[in-house]
Structure 1
């Protein structure tokens, strides 16, 4: 019955009727001297004020809920389209070469990574994007693999873990 959108519409008249009953049934010394017309104007003024307060609170709660939903949706989008695929590429332990401290990835994975960074730069911190642009995007193919610096992979994984933590935190707050 009481949803966020109709709370003010329902509660405003109810409170007005209760106030009108109190005003006409129980004598209040400051209001006794007023004519009925003046009492009705006071009731209408209070009704409009109550309605505005309740409706304002309702609108505020709706906007807050929409902002939370949008933030959850944006975070989910970043995880699905950028950080998730990159995490899949770098999440295998056998890819790290201990001597060079670099990750080996194949051409298909490098192209996928380059596509993510070039089409969605806004999803990454400036430090990560700049690192990719200056050092990773121009890497040359070596023995059918690319050697990606471990520092870059660490930045991507750190951002991924922060996004996952933020996503779960937002879900908890939303419930």
Structure 2
């Protein structure tokens, strides 16, 4: 665990990489313009996720190797038809994504792999977002914080002494 957990220091992974300080809209623009490649963006996002998750505990399920394997052409073109083509994201663990388990934040739900993608997740993916995995949420989305009986809580990056509020974990 990070030693800053109780001192109120915000945690971030912003650095000089392909993501920079871009939000999703700017990142999509930079991808379309060819300023960054899809491979560079995916590798930067995965590096940040691997750095952040041991501290924040925000990833319920990751599929980094599969994403990298499916996009191992470093300069594959990004389609102008999809507004967020190549922009990495995580999808909350209460939505089905084909090939990933959906556990609703609960250890009571067996980790069986979904054979379909829910309508909302499908909308994200058809806009071009790249699903890196599933993000945590409170058990069944019913609590105000993402704290578990048998696992560390999902930490708030603005103050690691707090868990994340609401159903978004």
TM-score by length of 1: 0.29
Higher helix share: 1
Higher strand share: 2
Q: Which has the larger radius of gyration?
A: 1
TM-score by length of 2: 0.30
